[in-house]
Amino acid sequence: MFNCDVAAIDLTPMPLLSTNSATLSADSVATVSPLADDSERSKAVHATDIAIAALPEWLVQINDDISRALERGVNIRQLVTARACVIDDLLIALFNWFELDKTDLALFATGGYGRGELSLYSDVDILLLTPNEITADSSEKIDNLVALLWDIGLEPALSVRSVSECLEAAQDHTIASTLLEARLLIGNEELQEVPHKIVNTQWSPRDFYEVKIAEAKARYLQHNATEYNLEPNIKTAPGGLRDIHIIGWVTKRYFRVSKLYDLVQQNFLTEKEFDELNFAEGYLWQIRHYLHELTGRNENKLLFDYQREIAQLMGYETQPDDQPNAAVERFMRDYYRCAMQISTLSEMLTNHYYETIIEPQLPDEERPKKHPINARFNQVGEQIAMSHHRVFAQHPESILEMFLLMGQYGIKNVRTHTLRALKIAARGIDQVYRDNPTHQALFLANLKEQNYLFHRLRTMNRYGVLGSYIPAFAQVTGLMQYDLFHRYTVDAHTLFLIRILHRFTDPRFSEEFPLVSSIFQRIERKEILVLAAMFHDIAKGRGGNHSLLGETESIEFCLAHGMSTADAHLVGWLTRYHLLMSMTAQKKDISDPEVVTLFADLVGNVTHLNHLYVLTVADMNATNPQLWNSWRATLMKQLYSQTRRILRADIDAPTNRQDMISATRKQALAMLDNVDNQHMNRDEVLRLWDDLGDEYFLREIAEDILWHTEAILNHPPLGRASDADSTPLVVLREHRELALDAVQVFVYTQDQVNLFAVTMAVFDQMNLDVLDARIITATRDFALDSYVLLDRSGTLLVDIDSQQELKQRLIDAFKNPTVPKLTHRKIPRQLRHFDVATTINFEFNEASNQHIMSLETLDQPGLLARVGQVFLQQKIEVHAARITTLGERAEDMFYISDQDDLALSADKLETLKATLIESLSIRNEA
């Protein structure tokens, strides 16, 4: 049971307890004796009507009182209990008012309400249980009770069952879970123990444990099996309230306890573990209270819509020197740390239940066998266990030795009594421990041992070893960046990066990462990359350049651990320049030999290049897997290959440019010769390619070149723009490498001044988002434009009519110089919560006599259409474009000139910049 003494909370007296003229309560129900005269009966009924009519307002007032009490500093635990208590009083009074106390029914609170936990708009789960079938009279009374509860706004989750029906329903483990928490409110006391007995009848301890663990695993998968979702569900996600509930469910089936603290008295839970769970649960309850208060409903998902406001309500204030998102990032960091603590304890305690309660009852053939590893550790089944309880105290080096043995013996998991001892031992890791050469050697040996490295480091992190051994790592545990690009906290991202490094040695991933895998497997000192991975983001959240700060710390760490100066500085270099390759490939024109040459000069040698390439690909995948695609993979591979040739052969830029063109043509020809192409004559192909120009072969890949070539040769020859009979070529095909439901569109038409603007406007009208764009003008002044589009409606690939509509709209737009009117779509919900300043920079490219315009702004519907409209107004010619979306941020590049292919003046650039910023600012506000 739980304590219902809530007098100190000062809740508003409810009308059913003290009305002006009558009282409706559990003790004194406003029912009148049949012997009373008509006037007395009329007066009582009238008073009761007044009391009941006031109940909706009273329920609202109770919630307001609870919110004010929280503001005054009343503990949230008292408040969730207080709300359960007042709902108890209400239901008990109404049970009597509807004369259900004169039946054989029993009224139970179940689920969270049964535990005595009700947030402002939590489900009120109740069970009406009867020993036999429900009578017609009882059924009518129940219907009246339920109708009233709905009328006053309580919205109960009510089950009405006989004992036999309940016995059958309990075969569903979710119903069995609610019955375990059934708490009798009023009614037939002979039924008080029945719900628990029903669960015992239907479920053995082992079966119930296994079904609840399976349910938890399925629930985890629904939330990407991580505590670190950007918009977590604080109830059902890993580390949410449900992870605490599962501890109660599996233990209540065996121990017959009503609350978690009872498990301390059963010596199942330690006082410290209870305190940790108690604090974390209270923290989540407080978040949940504010979610309910802000939304006015039973909301459990911590959306971006609420994170800033809840951070403020929870007391996270912005400091004078803070970055704009610092307060909400601190709040979410504490949430993630809380979630990790809950999920870790939940996993450990449910495993502890299995090992101490279920495992001893298993048949001998099913019990795990124990095999000694050394004097300090045993292997028990598929787990490692210390040989006696003082192993870590007597042999501090065994903390790190255990993880090394796990890698060497292929052991993934740890017995719970060992984990408990490990958690305590980790607190003793101090500077003296870290300076011990034996410990340093063991730590490095762990990084060299690749087997189960991710799982071993994950356990180190969860149980405090990693953060104690590398204190800077503890600072980034739970640290998130308030954006849509970085999917994980810094510590989760770091460990995921190391996991991806290991995938480069796994044959199952060789097709996905062919070049990277072959390079990584040839790198002998893999711990170099693991150390670079561990330190590359370790200085985030401190202010300043995290890459430079991380470089210093990584070198100091490596030298302190006895690594050579060369190895230490390689780790430091990788930490400092871990963003160099991705930034160059995505934000620079790597078809420009000067760009590649400059990058090669910064890299310096092939060893640096190999390590950086592997680290970059792993880092990008670990940052946001959804943003890794064939386009980015191609960019990385292209930059790596070109740079490697420069570093190995010292090829100068002009020769490299021609080699790039020749290599692409040669590859495309080889593909042409290897397939049955009845529609393409080799000589015709070569003549066409000569007309397409060098720029085309610098920017396109061989597979797309063949697709374009076949389409052009099978299309009637294009005339000039003035030729009315000349029809532009528009072809579509499936393109799933960049995203699901992506469509690749190739356009071949006469070049014209408004081509980019009208194309973007058509895409905007048809609700198509541009993921990639290659805009090229052939030597004959024909445009060769290739786009990858995201079809949000998912119909373009399968609907012939939609495909024809897109083609016809584009053709009509090319022939009509008037730019179609832009559509106005709302900015998606998630994007509204980010403030991304629009920045525009220009860089002049002497080789092409063009300016490269870099645009960074909030991603938004119709962004490119709006940019294209400004280009048209300002008479800007677009020669090429690169479209990049990183979460909520669009980072696009355009190669531009005036309509006579001349460079833009300084005044023209300033006007263009101002016009774009104004146009995009208006769109952002909309």
The number of helix segments (H) and strand segments (E) in the chain equals 39, 17
Bridge partners of 784? 748, 776
Residue 884's identity, in one-letter code, is: T
Bridge partners of 335? none
CA-to-CA dists, residue 695 to 502, 565, 642, 690, 904, angstroms? 38, 44, 17, 11, 21
pLDDT at 764 over 70: yes
pLDDT at 795 over 50: yes
Rounded to whole angstroms, the Cα distance separating 279 from 234 reads 15
Six token digits for residue 325: 């998102």
CA 479 centroid distance within chain: 14
Sign of CA dihedral 161, 164, 170, 171: negative
Helix (H) or strand (E) holding 882, with range, is strand 876-882
The pLDDT value recorded for residue 642 is: 86
Residue 777's identity, in one-letter code, is: T
The pLDDT value recorded for residue 3 is: 63
Rounded to whole angstroms, the Cα distance separating 419 from 462 reads 10
- pLDDT, one tens digit per residue, over 599-639 is 999 999 999 999 999 999 999 999 887 777 666 787 888 89
The pLDDT value recorded for residue 7 is: 56
Place of tokens 């208006």: 922
Six token digits for residue 444: 């490095």
- pLDDT, one tens digit per residue, over 699-721 is 788 888 888 998 898 888 876 54
Give the best-scoring range by mean pLDDT among 101-110, 145-154, 317-326, 825-834.
Answer: 101-110
pLDDT at 17 over 50: no
pLDDT at 741 over 80: no
The pLDDT value recorded for residue 51 is: 77
pLDDT at 244 over 60: yes
Q: What is the DSSP letter of 826?
A: P
The pLDDT value recorded for residue 41 is: 36
pLDDT at 688 over 60: yes
Pairing relationship of beta strands 383-386 and 377-380 according to DSSP bridges: antiparallel
Pairing relationship of beta strands 383-386 and 413-414 according to DSSP bridges: parallel
CA 423 centroid distance within chain: 28
pLDDT at 861 over 70: yes
pLDDT at 571 over 90: yes
User: Which of 312, 291, 302 shows the shortest CA–CA distance to 120?
Assistant: 291
User: Which phi and psi angles does 894 have, rounded to 5°?
Assistant: -130, 135
Overall average pLDDT of the 46-65 stretch: 82
pLDDT at 834 over 80: no
Phi-psi region of 862 (alpha: psi -120 to 50; beta: other; left: phi over 0): left
Rounded to whole angstroms, the Cα distance separating 417 from 356 reads 10
CA torsion angle 373 361 342 88 (round to 10): -170
Alpha helices in 714-799 (DSSP H): 755-765
CA triple 139-142-147, angle to 5 deg: 125
Pairing relationship of beta strands 106-109 and 183-187 according to DSSP bridges: antiparallel
Work out the number of other CB atoms within 10 angstroms of the CB of residue 153.
Answer: 12
pLDDT at 922 over 60: no
The pLDDT value recorded for residue 48 is: 59
Rounded to whole angstroms, the Cα distance separating 793 from 720 reads 36
Rounded to whole angstroms, the Cα distance separating 767 from 796 reads 11
Six token digits for residue 21: 């003229």
pLDDT at 47 over 70: no
pLDDT at 39 over 70: no
User: Which of 477, 448, 480, 440 shows the shortest CA–CA distance to 460?
Assistant: 477
Contact (Cβ atoms closer than 8 angstroms) between residue 708 and residue 685: no
The pLDDT value recorded for residue 257 is: 83
Overall average pLDDT of the 785-806 stretch: 81
How much is the pTM?
A: 0.81
- pLDDT, one tens digit per residue, over 354-389 is 999 999 999 999 999 999 999 999 999 999 999 999
The pLDDT value recorded for residue 29 is: 34
Half-sphere exposure of 300 (CA within 13 A, CB side): 15
Q: Look at 176-190, 438-452, 472-486 and tell me which has the smallest mean pLDDT.
A: 472-486
Average pLDDT score over the chain = 87
